Amino acid sequence: METITWHDFEKVELRVGTVLEAIDFPEARKPAFKVRVDFGEFGIRWSSAQITKHYTKEELVGRQIVGVTNFPKKQIANFMSEFLVTGFADENGDIVLTAVEKPVPNGSKLI
């Protein structure tokens, strides 16, 4: 494992946002949803998330998630992803979302 400095860590914008919408993304190579997330003062952004094994579109709406908001946009099939949804792989490699235990303001940065 590579060691990083505190300064390196501070560069990563890990922010919380609330899922406003989740829709199917049939053009993706692996099963995924397109999610629209409100990051407060940092705006509303879209991302592709391979989280279809543990979550339904309906249960995602209103949920707070953690995303990396300062990566460059990335083209995924015919869609431009504007942030990275974070999570952990379970024993089968399926993603479990990174989440906050209690509600916090959208746009809050992980510190």
Q: What is the pLDDT of residue 71?
A: 94
| C-alpha dihedral, 2 to 93 to 46 to 31, nearest 10° | 150
Q: What is the pLDDT of residue 31?
A: 95
Domains and CATH numbers, the chain: 13-97 (2.40.50.140)
Once rounded to an integer, what is the mean pLDDT over residues 71-99? 96
Q: What is the pLDDT of residue 67?
A: 98
Q: What is the pLDDT of residue 2?
A: 93
Write out pLDDT tens, residues 38-78.
999 999 999 999 999 999 999 999 999 999 999 999 999 99
Q: What is the pLDDT of residue 4?
A: 95
Contact 65, 88 (CB under 8 A): no
Pairwise CA distance, residues 52 & 26, whole Å: 12
What global pTM score does this model have?
Answer: 0.94
Contact 20, 61 (CB under 8 A): yes
Contact 65, 17 (CB under 8 A): yes
DSSP run (H or E) holding 57: helix 57-60
- Residue 105 CA neighbour count, 13 Å, CB half: 7
Query: Distance of alpha carbon 91 from its chain centroid, rounded?
Result: 20
